[in-house]
Amino acid sequence: MPAGVTLRGEVASDAAAILDLHEESFGPGRYARTAFRLRETAASLGAFNRVAILDGVLVGSVQFWRLEADGVPGVLLGPLAVDPRWKSAGIGRSLMASSLRQIAEEGDGPVLLVGDAPYYAPLGFQVVAPGRLVLPGPVDPARLLIALDRPAFCGRVNGI
Protein backbone atom coordinates (compact mmCIF):
# COMPACT_ATOMS: atom_id res chain seq x y z
CA MET A 1 0.00 0.00 0.00
CA PRO A 2 1.38 3.46 -0.84
CA ALA A 3 3.00 5.50 1.91
CA GLY A 4 0.63 8.04 3.38
CA VAL A 5 -2.55 6.03 2.81
CA THR A 6 -4.60 5.59 5.97
CA LEU A 7 -7.56 3.29 6.51
CA ARG A 8 -10.48 4.25 8.72
CA GLY A 9 -14.11 3.47 9.23
CA GLU A 10 -16.58 5.00 6.80
CA VAL A 11 -18.49 8.04 8.10
CA ALA A 12 -21.60 9.77 6.75
CA SER A 13 -19.58 12.64 5.27
CA ASP A 14 -17.82 10.12 2.98
CA ALA A 15 -21.05 9.36 1.08
CA ALA A 16 -20.60 11.79 -1.83
CA ALA A 17 -16.96 10.82 -2.42
CA ILE A 18 -17.88 7.11 -2.30
CA LEU A 19 -20.70 7.63 -4.79
CA ASP A 20 -18.30 9.47 -7.13
CA LEU A 21 -15.76 6.65 -6.79
CA HIS A 22 -18.43 4.04 -7.60
CA GLU A 23 -19.52 6.02 -10.66
CA GLU A 24 -15.93 6.30 -11.89
CA SER A 25 -15.14 2.65 -11.15
CA PHE A 26 -18.32 0.91 -12.32
CA GLY A 27 -20.41 3.36 -14.35
CA PRO A 28 -24.19 3.26 -14.66
CA GLY A 29 -24.22 -0.46 -15.51
CA ARG A 30 -23.68 -1.24 -11.83
CA TYR A 31 -27.38 -0.73 -11.14
CA ALA A 32 -28.31 -3.78 -13.23
CA ARG A 33 -25.92 -6.20 -11.53
CA THR A 34 -27.25 -8.89 -9.21
CA ALA A 35 -25.03 -7.76 -6.33
CA PHE A 36 -26.50 -4.25 -6.60
CA ARG A 37 -30.00 -5.73 -6.55
CA LEU A 38 -29.16 -7.56 -3.31
CA ARG A 39 -27.88 -4.33 -1.74
CA GLU A 40 -31.15 -2.56 -2.58
CA THR A 41 -32.95 -4.55 0.11
CA ALA A 42 -30.03 -5.07 2.50
CA ALA A 43 -29.07 -3.11 5.59
CA SER A 44 -25.61 -1.59 5.54
CA LEU A 45 -23.19 -3.08 8.05
CA GLY A 46 -21.48 0.26 8.58
CA ALA A 47 -19.26 -0.99 11.39
CA PHE A 48 -17.34 -3.04 8.81
CA ASN A 49 -17.19 -0.41 6.04
CA ARG A 50 -13.75 1.10 5.44
CA VAL A 51 -12.25 3.90 3.36
CA ALA A 52 -8.69 4.65 2.29
CA ILE A 53 -7.53 8.26 2.48
CA LEU A 54 -4.46 9.79 0.80
CA ASP A 55 -3.63 13.45 1.31
CA GLY A 56 -7.18 14.10 2.53
CA VAL A 57 -8.77 12.48 -0.54
CA LEU A 58 -10.84 9.29 -0.49
CA VAL A 59 -9.06 6.82 -2.80
CA GLY A 60 -10.74 3.55 -1.82
CA SER A 61 -13.85 2.12 -0.22
CA VAL A 62 -15.30 -1.23 0.76
CA GLN A 63 -18.84 -1.74 2.02
CA PHE A 64 -20.71 -4.64 3.60
CA TRP A 65 -24.41 -5.51 3.74
CA ARG A 66 -26.59 -7.90 5.73
CA LEU A 67 -28.10 -10.80 3.84
CA GLU A 68 -29.47 -14.23 4.53
CA ALA A 69 -29.74 -17.59 2.83
CA ASP A 70 -32.98 -19.28 3.85
CA GLY A 71 -32.88 -17.56 7.24
CA VAL A 72 -29.17 -18.05 7.98
CA PRO A 73 -27.46 -14.65 8.30
CA GLY A 74 -24.45 -13.67 6.23
CA VAL A 75 -22.63 -10.67 4.82
CA LEU A 76 -22.33 -9.32 1.28
CA LEU A 77 -19.01 -7.66 0.43
CA GLY A 78 -19.19 -4.92 -2.13
CA PRO A 79 -18.67 -2.79 -3.76
CA LEU A 80 -14.93 -2.61 -3.37
CA ALA A 81 -13.69 0.41 -5.29
CA VAL A 82 -10.26 2.00 -5.66
CA ASP A 83 -9.38 5.18 -7.52
CA PRO A 84 -8.05 3.98 -10.92
CA ARG A 85 -4.80 5.89 -10.33
CA TRP A 86 -4.12 3.63 -7.35
CA LYS A 87 -5.24 0.25 -8.73
CA SER A 88 -2.79 -2.60 -8.05
CA ALA A 89 -1.21 -0.66 -5.16
CA GLY A 90 -2.66 -2.94 -2.46
CA ILE A 91 -5.33 -0.52 -1.27
CA GLY A 92 -8.26 -2.82 -2.05
CA ARG A 93 -6.70 -5.83 -0.36
CA SER A 94 -5.78 -3.75 2.69
CA LEU A 95 -9.34 -2.45 3.00
CA MET A 96 -10.80 -5.95 2.75
CA ALA A 97 -8.27 -7.55 5.10
CA SER A 98 -9.02 -4.97 7.79
CA SER A 99 -12.77 -5.51 7.54
CA LEU A 100 -12.58 -9.30 7.22
CA ARG A 101 -10.52 -9.54 10.42
CA GLN A 102 -13.25 -7.68 12.29
CA ILE A 103 -16.01 -9.78 10.73
CA ALA A 104 -14.17 -12.98 11.72
CA GLU A 105 -13.59 -11.72 15.28
CA GLU A 106 -17.26 -10.86 15.67
CA GLY A 107 -18.45 -14.14 14.12
CA ASP A 108 -20.50 -12.34 11.50
CA GLY A 109 -19.65 -14.53 8.48
CA PRO A 110 -20.01 -16.03 6.03
CA VAL A 111 -19.02 -13.32 3.56
CA LEU A 112 -20.33 -13.57 0.00
CA LEU A 113 -19.20 -11.59 -3.04
CA VAL A 114 -19.25 -11.59 -6.81
CA GLY A 115 -15.73 -11.13 -8.17
CA ASP A 116 -12.56 -12.58 -9.64
CA ALA A 117 -11.44 -15.68 -7.73
CA PRO A 118 -7.69 -15.16 -8.29
CA TYR A 119 -7.88 -11.67 -6.75
CA TYR A 120 -9.93 -12.67 -3.71
CA ALA A 121 -8.49 -16.17 -3.01
CA PRO A 122 -5.50 -14.87 -0.98
CA LEU A 123 -8.03 -13.37 1.45
CA GLY A 124 -9.72 -16.74 1.99
CA PHE A 125 -12.43 -16.66 -0.68
CA GLN A 126 -13.36 -19.73 -2.69
CA VAL A 127 -15.92 -20.47 -5.38
CA VAL A 128 -19.35 -21.43 -4.03
CA ALA A 129 -20.39 -24.98 -4.95
CA PRO A 130 -22.81 -24.99 -7.91
CA GLY A 131 -26.46 -25.01 -6.84
CA ARG A 132 -25.73 -24.16 -3.20
CA LEU A 133 -27.03 -20.58 -3.38
CA VAL A 134 -29.80 -18.99 -5.46
CA LEU A 135 -29.41 -15.26 -6.06
CA PRO A 136 -32.11 -12.83 -7.29
CA GLY A 137 -30.50 -12.54 -10.72
CA PRO A 138 -27.85 -14.01 -12.97
CA VAL A 139 -24.31 -14.54 -11.69
CA ASP A 140 -21.39 -16.30 -13.36
CA PRO A 141 -20.92 -19.33 -11.03
CA ALA A 142 -17.13 -19.00 -11.27
CA ARG A 143 -17.41 -15.48 -9.77
CA LEU A 144 -19.67 -16.29 -6.80
CA LEU A 145 -17.24 -16.48 -3.89
CA ILE A 146 -17.47 -17.11 -0.15
CA ALA A 147 -15.18 -16.75 2.89
CA LEU A 148 -15.66 -17.48 6.59
CA ASP A 149 -18.03 -20.17 5.37
CA ARG A 150 -20.78 -21.91 7.33
CA PRO A 151 -22.30 -25.08 5.85
CA ALA A 152 -25.82 -24.00 6.89
CA PHE A 153 -25.55 -20.95 4.61
CA CYS A 154 -27.37 -22.30 1.56
CA GLY A 155 -30.56 -21.71 -0.39
CA ARG A 156 -32.21 -18.52 -1.62
CA VAL A 157 -30.18 -15.37 -0.86
CA ASN A 158 -31.92 -12.10 0.07
CA GLY A 159 -30.83 -8.77 1.46
CA ILE A 160 -32.25 -8.02 4.91
pLDDT at residue 84, as a whole number: 92
Superfamily of domain 5-159: Gcn5-related N-acetyltransferase (GNAT) (3.40.630.30)
CA–centroid distance for 77 within its chain: 2
Give the tens place of pLDDT for each residue, 28-64: 655 446 777 787 888 999 999 999 999 999 999 999 9
pLDDT level of residue 23 (50, 70, 90 thresholds): confident
pLDDT at residue 70, as a whole number: 94
Q: What are phi and psi of 74, to 5 degrees?
A: -155, -170
Give the tens place of pLDDT for each residue, 77-120: 989 999 999 988 999 999 999 999 999 999 888 999 999 999 99
| pLDDT, average across residues 135-153 | 92
CB 80 within 8 A of CB 92: yes
- Cβ-based burial of 140 (10 A; exposed 0-12, middle 13-18, buried ≥19): exposed
Across all residues in the chain, what is the average pLDDT?
90
pLDDT at residue 33, as a whole number: 67
Q: What angle do CA 18, 20, 21 make, to 5 degrees?
A: 65
CB 117 within 8 A of CB 69: no
| pLDDT, average across residues 141-153 | 94
Tell me: pLDDT of 158 over 90. Answer: no
> For the whole prediction, is pTM greater than 0.85?
yes
pLDDT at residue 58, as a whole number: 97
CB 38 within 8 A of CB 157: yes
pLDDT at residue 40, as a whole number: 84
Give the tens place of pLDDT for each residue, 96-106: 999 999 999 99
